């Protein structure tokens, strides 16, 4: 019998009950991960998506260290990069020259991949952002943005060692993917919080990178009815949303 299954239903509860029936265990013996919240059909005619959950038969695990949202710091994505940075010369450049080198680096990567990409440069408090647009750029995003994170990490490593001054933080985005992903995670966090409150049970989300876990923590840190912490080991670390127990 499988220990992990994914089920869908018109509601999250319906999907959970389907998992309970198939696995033959009580709901209290399962860890439930909400993969997708259900959405209603437009005008009741078309569109809409079912709820989707992943149910895992619980295995006792050691206590986990609570991760405070305010102390979370970004780190390189825990995935193995698929691209190799171009060789760089041992020469220090100023800020504008470093930005030009960064654009050159990206252009060389895209040329090697056979992609035609437009690069728009924008500056913000977080650093220098490269907004990419073009056809067939899904390959640059990858599953849940993993390829995009790897490309951004390589860019920062390859180019910043040529900077004569402070290091520049480069952000790489494809057609506003990061904003759309943040909105999706915000919606997910609020939905999961409501479920935890309603059922009075912990809800475990799917594994996420540190930046995405930080979004979940930040969205829910002012919700006085739930609390969050991270558990597991990288790259499979995940967030648990728990209802606050009354004293």
Structure tokens at 157: 């490593």
How much of the chain, in percent, has pLDDT values that exceed 70? 79
Residues 130, 173 contacting (CB under 8 angstroms):
yes
- Full-model pTM: 0.57
- Give dist(CA 239, CA 22) in Å, integer: 26
How much of the chain, in percent, has pLDDT values that exceed 90? 48
- Give dist(CA 112, CA 142) in Å, integer: 17
Q: Which range is least confidently modeled, 52-56, 57-61, 232-236? A: 57-61
- Give dist(CA 237, CA 201) in Å, integer: 20
Q: Which range is least confidently modeled, 13-17, 114-118, 189-193? A: 13-17
pLDDT band at 130 (very low <50, low <70, confident <90, very high): very high
pLDDT digits (tens, 9 = 90+) for 70-97: 444 445 454 444 455 555 445 556 788 8
More confident residue, 76 or 34: 34
Q: What 3-state DSSP class applies to 206?
A: coil
- Give dist(CA 152, CA 135) in Å, integer: 19
- Give dist(CA 97, CA 94) in Å, integer: 5
Q: Which range is least confidently modeled, 10-14, 38-42, 168-172, 222-226? A: 38-42
pLDDT digits (tens, 9 = 90+) for 158-214: 998 766 667 899 999 999 999 999 999 999 999 999 999 999 999 999 998 888 999
Angle made by CA atoms 128, 130, 135, in degrees to the nearest 5? 175
Mean pLDDT across 237-241: 95
pLDDT at 94: 76
Q: What 3-state DSSP class applies to 51?
A: strand
CB count in 10 Å sphere of residue 168: 16
Residue with tokens 């924008």: 122
Mean pLDDT across 220-239: 93
Between 146-160 and 95-113, two packed helices, what is the crossing angle to 10 degrees? 130
- Give dist(CA 37, CA 209) in Å, integer: 20
- Give dist(CA 196, CA 137) in Å, integer: 37
């Amino acid at each position: 019998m499988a220990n992990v299954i994914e089920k869908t239903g018109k509601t999250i509860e319906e999907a959970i009950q389907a998992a309970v029936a198939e696995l033959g265990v009580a709901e209290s013996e399962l860890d439930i991960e909400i993969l997708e919240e259900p959405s209603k059909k437009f005008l009741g005619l078309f569109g809409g998506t079912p709820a989707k959950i992943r149910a895992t038969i619980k295995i006792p695990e050691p206590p986990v260290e609570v991760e405070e949202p305010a102390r979370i710091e970004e780190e390189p994505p825990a995935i193995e990069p698929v691209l190799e940075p171009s060789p760089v010369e041992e020469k220090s450049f100023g800020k504008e020259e470093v930005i030009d080198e960064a654009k050159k680096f990206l252009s060389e990567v895209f040329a090697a991949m056979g992609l035609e990409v437009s690069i728009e440069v924008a500056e913000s408090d977080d650093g220098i952002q490269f907004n990419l647009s073009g056809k067939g750029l899904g390959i640059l995003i990858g599953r849940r943005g993993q390829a995009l994170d790897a490309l951004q990490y390589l860019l920062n490593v390859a180019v910043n060692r040529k900077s004569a001054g402070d290091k520049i933080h480069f952000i790489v985005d494809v057609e506003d993917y990061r904003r759309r992903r943040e909105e999706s995670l915000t919606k997910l966090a609020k939905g999961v919080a409501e479920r935890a409150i309603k059922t009075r049970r912990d809800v475990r989300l799917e594994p996420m990178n540190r930046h995405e876990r930080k979004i979940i923590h930040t969205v829910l840190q002012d919700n006085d009815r739930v609390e969050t912490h991270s558990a597991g080991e990288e790259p499979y670390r995940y967030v648990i949303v728990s209802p606050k127990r009354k004293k």
